[in-house]
Every structure is written in C-alpha cells, then in structure tokens.
Amino acid sequence: MADAIDKVIIANRAGMAKKYGQAGISAIDDALQRLIEADRSRGFVTSIVNIDNANEMARFGAAAIVNGKDERGTKTAVDAITDKTNPDYVVLLDGPDVIPHIRLNRIAGISDDDTVIESDLPYACDVPFSRKASDYLAVTRVVGRLPMTREAHQASAFAQLIDRCATHAPKQPGDAASYFSISAEVWTQSTQLSLSEIFGSYAALFISPPDGHPGTDPSLRNPIHFINCHGATNDPQFYGQRDDVYPVAMESSLVAPHVAAGSVVAAECCYGAELYDPALTGSAQPICMSYLLGGATAFMGSTTIAYGPADSNGQADLITQYFLKNVLEGASTGRAMLQARQRFVQSQTMSGPTNLKTLAQFVLYGDPSLVAVSPPQHAVEALATSAADATSSDARSGRKARRIGMKSDGLALAEAASYPLRRDTAASPGAERIHAIARQRGFSSEPVTLVVSGGPKFREAAKVLDQKQKVVVVFDRAPDRQAAETGVKLPSYRALVAYMIGDGIAAIEESESR
C-alpha cells in the first residue's frame, strides 16, 4: 500500500454529508471516481481516505475524526496517513468547515486584527500538532486544498470543480506567456519589480486607480494572474489605492465570466484566500472561489492580513513570485507551492515576525498534482536524452526522487533557520536607537524586543559568534482606510522590523498591510 499510492485525498464523509446531504454526496462521489480514473491515465494511483471512518483509520493506526472542527485530530490523521502511504500529493477535500485550517497563534511582535492565522502549512510539515508557526519551518510535503466556502451547499458546483481537475490539460509555455496583473497605484514600483522577476516585463500591468472592470476584463482571459491590491475580511472585492482613495479594482461577480480554464492566480491581498460563508456575511462569494468555479486550476493567497513593502519586494511579494516562477518552469502547482515555501525559508530571516506570518498564512487552493504549464522544451529534451524509453514507472521514480530531495532540503532549511522565541524586557541601547529611527520614519508605537532562537545549525553558528541576536519590532496602526465605493474598512498597518546582533543593527525592513 505504501508504495502504490501517488496521491491521497483527505476527506471527511460525515462532514460533507452534513453540508451537502446524501444526494449531494452521491454527485461528489461520482466526480471523485472520474478524477481517480483521469489520474490513472496520467500515471497516478489516487486513493481517498475518509478520516471520519474508524475502519479506514485503523489501517493507519489513528483514531477517526468525529468532530470536523478537531484541528489536532485532523492534523494527526493526515500525519498518520502520509506516514503510511508516502504520497507525492496530498489533497485536502473541501473547505475549513470539513477539513479545518489549523488556527495558529498570533506571532509575537505583531499587533494587527488577526488573533489567529488560519493555515494549511501544518499539513505540509511532518511534525506534531502545534499552534506555533515557528514549529512549522520544516516544510516537506506537497499539499493543496480543493475547497468550497464554509457552509456552501452546492454539491453540483463542487462536483464540477472536481471534474475540471479530471479534464485538466497543461498549457504550452508559449501559451502561458501572457499574464494579467493589477496593482494598487501606491504599490506600482513593488509590483513592477515582481513582474520583471516573473515575466521579464511589466508592460501589461494595470494600475488602480484608474483601472478596473470592465476595462481589465479582456485580460482576465490570460492564463497567469498576479494581483497586488488591498483586500478585507468577508469581502468579495479587491481595492486599489491613490493617496486616501480606495476604489474597487476587482469584484467577485465580474471575475468568473472572464476566467480562462487552467488559469493560475497568485494574490498578495489581505484575506485573498479567506473562505468566508457568503450567506452569513450577506456578500457574494470570495474572489478566490470565483476564480476556481470559473475554471482556474489554482489560487494561491493569504487567509489573513498580509504584508509587503511599498517600493521594494519582501514578504507577500516574494512568496507569490516564487510560486508563479515555479509554475512557469513546469512544476505541478503543489510542488511549486512547496518550493516557494522552502525558498522563502531559505532566503528570508524567519525571526522577522512578518516573514514568519507570511509563511504561515499563504495557502494553495486546487488539486496540487496538476501541471498548469508544460515544462519548457529544454527540460523535455533533457528528459528525452536521459530516458528515451521513459515509462509511467520512470515518471513515478522521478517524482519520488524530487520528493526525497525536497524533504531533505526542508529539514535542512529548518535546522539553519531562525525564529522569534519570546519577548525581552531588558533595556538595550540598540533597541533605543531603533526606536529613534522608527520615530524618524513616522512610527509612533513603542518597540517590542524579541529574543531570537532557531534550529540546531542556527544555534551552533550563533554560539560560535557569541553575540545574542534579537529582533526589534515597531507595529503601528495606520490611519483608517475606507473603500471609496463600498465603505468597507480595509486593514491599515505598518511594521518596522530591525535585526540586531549584540547592540549592532544588521538590517531594517519596513512593510505595510496589503
């Protein structure tokens, strides 16, 4: 069994029956069987495990999950299943009311409105259940969620979403060269840097204001989307910004009709991947679901308030960049997400609270086994040269080799990574200097100093250095932002993060809420 399964779908049948009814479950089951057959033709062996079924879970030495809100139990069940099956892909089936997000604790030094971070990161890590984001730096699994919103009852729509995964075909690299991108005007420079890194050009960028529907709608047909706008909780719009004006840049109901099948989306926006209940909020469905139900293959975004600089790249800019670059190089969307998370841990200082939050809050929606863009020709030619008589067995061996390498990479990166450990109340001349710098830059809040720790390799290096490392954070609530057309209150925060070695300042980062 352990060697046979390439993709495991984690389901809670009782939770779905409560949500969709028995007739709905039947339609979903039929769609899942069509997906399993399609995967077989692609060379995958796919298995569904119902974590609410005691007999099924006994095979994995784990208890059945009776309560769909049981985060600890669900994480433990996923760990047990993946330990036994060693799959290349893990699919979390349905929204957080069936397979819960893990609610991680607020990270020390951050004082925004998010009391918890709803996250799928823990499912991608082979470590015991925890509510500390810093315990999930060893990212080793390919995981994606095929969702519906909380309390959605449209089983036919969910079945159609699954069927799209079954009929998916990747685009050729040339067909994926066109992109759609829109940015709040205030973040133009940051978005231009991102687009130059991903596509080599920012010529197609829309700026809000003035841009928005319907002028941008024809470009929504393009296969790759990069969005750097404001978002708000329980809100089906994304917003631009010019000075203190925040117009609607994108609207859920206006997105779906124009989305092309197979599109891949990366959105930096606050709450861009929040799966709120539209009926409860009286709103239209989230933009992420408009994309998926409209035919998109994958949506990568944040469940909570996200951060990034105004005129450079960091936090949300980087993790979304890394994801799209991997997609364009021919990785499955799930592998692209795993590689993006690993590169983020490798390239960023994870003792920075906004960096750690970024890693925790960005999730992938869609079947992680799907390849959105075929590998570039040079990669195909290299494979043909090394394996002219390649078979499905060879393809499986190649995937397994990549997974072994990425697991090793994830474990090694966590050993060398730092993280914020606890608050430090001792007076420090360096912290006072940072406070003065923050005041000069317009920050008014008192600084918070955090002691830094890390994995064993980090601690070993720090011991040789024989200088304590700390992080000083100044977190301000900026003036209230209110959307011009809807009156919605938008998250409004600024953060200054300074890294100290002894009493010296090694680096300073500024960011603001997206």
pLDDT (tens digit, 9 = 90+) per residue, 235-249?
A: 999 999 999 999 999
368 DSSP assignment: T
Q: What is the mean pLDDT of residues 75-99?
A: 97
CB contact at 8 A, 370 and 297: yes
pLDDT band at 175 (very low <50, low <70, confident <90, very high): confident
Note the pLDDT of residue 391.
56
Helices and strands in the chain, H and E counts:
15, 23
Structure tokens at 43: 């060379």
Whole-prediction pTM: 0.94
Q: 482-511, pLDDT tens digit by residue? A: 887 788 999 999 999 999 998 899 999 999
Where b means 16+ CB within 10 Å and e means fewer, 38-50 reads: bbeebebbbbbbb
Q: 122-135, pLDDT tens digit by residue? A: 999 999 999 999 99
| Domain parsing of the chain, residue ranges | 170-372, 419-513
Mean pLDDT, the chain, integer: 93
pLDDT band at 110 (very low <50, low <70, confident <90, very high): very high
Q: 278-301, pLDDT tens digit by residue? A: 988 787 999 999 999 999 999 999
3-state secondary structure 291-335: HHHHCCCEEEEECCCCEECCCCCCCHHHHHHHHHHHHHCCCEHHH
What are the residues whose beta carbons fall under 8 Å from the beta carbon of 179, sequence distance 6 or more?
195, 198, 199, 204, 222, 223, 224, 225, 226
Alpha-carbon distance of 163 to 157, in angstroms, equals: 10
Note the pLDDT of residue 377.
58
What are the residues whose beta carbons fall under 8 Å from the beta carbon of 411, sequence distance 6 or more?
138, 140
Q: What is the mean pLDDT of residues 95-107?
A: 97
Note the pLDDT of residue 1.
39
Q: What is the third-level CATH fold of 170-372? A: Rossmann fold (3.40.50)
Q: What is the mean pLDDT of residues 160-180?
A: 93
Note the pLDDT of residue 265.
98
Return left, alpha or beta for 21; rule: phi > 0 is left, psi -120 to 50 is alpha, else beta. Answer: left
Question: Which residue is listed with tokens 């709905």?
Answer: 24
Note the pLDDT of residue 392.
64
Note the pLDDT of residue 187.
98
Nearest to 276 by CA among 241, 337, 317, 231: 231
pLDDT band at 382 (very low <50, low <70, confident <90, very high): very low
pLDDT band at 465 (very low <50, low <70, confident <90, very high): confident
Q: 247-273, pLDDT tens digit by residue? A: 999 999 999 999 999 999 999 999 999
Alpha-carbon distance of 497 to 354, in angstroms, equals: 8
Q: 426-456, pLDDT tens digit by residue? A: 878 888 999 999 999 999 999 999 999 999 9
Q: Is pLDDT at 463 greater than 90 in this prediction?
A: no
Q: 387-418, pLDDT tens digit by residue? A: 344 456 777 888 889 999 999 999 999 999 99
Sheet bearing 448-454, strands edge to edge: 307-308, 504-513, 493-501, 469-477, 448-454, 418-423
pLDDT above 90: percentage of residues in the chain: 84
Alpha-carbon distance of 116 to 111, in angstroms, equals: 11
Q: Is pLDDT at 384 greater than 60 in this prediction?
A: no
Least confident of 217-226, 459-468, 504-513: 459-468
Note the pLDDT of residue 2.
42
Alpha-carbon distance of 45 to 119, in angstroms, equals: 27
Structure tokens at 260: 């092309």
